[in-house]
Amino acid sequence: MPAQTIVHCTYEQHAHAILAIFNEAILNSTALYDYKPRAYDSMKPWFETKQKGNYPVIGIEAQDGTLLAFGSYGSFRAWPAYKYTVEHSVYVHQDYRAQGLGLQIMQALIAAARQQEIHAMMGGIDASNSRSIALHQRLGFKHVGTLPQVGFKFGRWLDLAFYQLLLDTPTHPVED
């Protein structure tokens, strides 16, 4: 594969490419439990939420600037005691899957989480997505539970599996 660069994605430069990757996943997979493609106007608030929460949006670009993959994380739940826990997601462009890009994005997200003193990373994965599950297990994520039949898409019930990675951060957690 040609040279690639890890980048911090921006609305101005990456919104269209991220939207295309999202929408392909919505239409053709259970990686997202949405039914309909997202509209472009959904991207500005999505990026604003990431920026407000100081959550990274990390991508991998080809030499020509094509976005090959991206990932991010956000709040796990809204209550203050969850402030050291995030839920992440990773998406790879359909033409570039099974080339190690998801691994690179996950490694970059884990590094960002450590730097931000996150303690727990959560991944909600469709239980039939064996590739994503294998990737998470390779990185040390542990299966912490499955919610049976919580989604319905493509005419069938979907089970949502949760995988968790506990980090050695923060050094001094506080309750403020």
Query: Where are the strands (E) in 9-155, listed by range?
Result: 57-62, 67-75, 85-92, 120-126, 142-153
Task: State what percent of residues in the chain have pLDDT above 70.
Answer: 99
Please provide the size of the chain in residues: 176
Q: Which domains does the chain carry? A: 4-122 (3.40.630.30)
Q: How confident is the model at residue 2 (pLDDT cuts 50, 70, 90)?
A: low
Residue 11, helix vs strand vs coil? helix
| pLDDT at residue 76 is higher than 60 | yes
Whether pTM > 0.85 for this model: the answer is: yes
CA distance 71 to 88: 7
Mean pLDDT of 145-167: 98
Q: How confident is the model at residue 3 (pLDDT cuts 50, 70, 90)?
A: confident
- pLDDT for the residue numbered 68: 97
| pLDDT at residue 136 is higher than 80 | yes
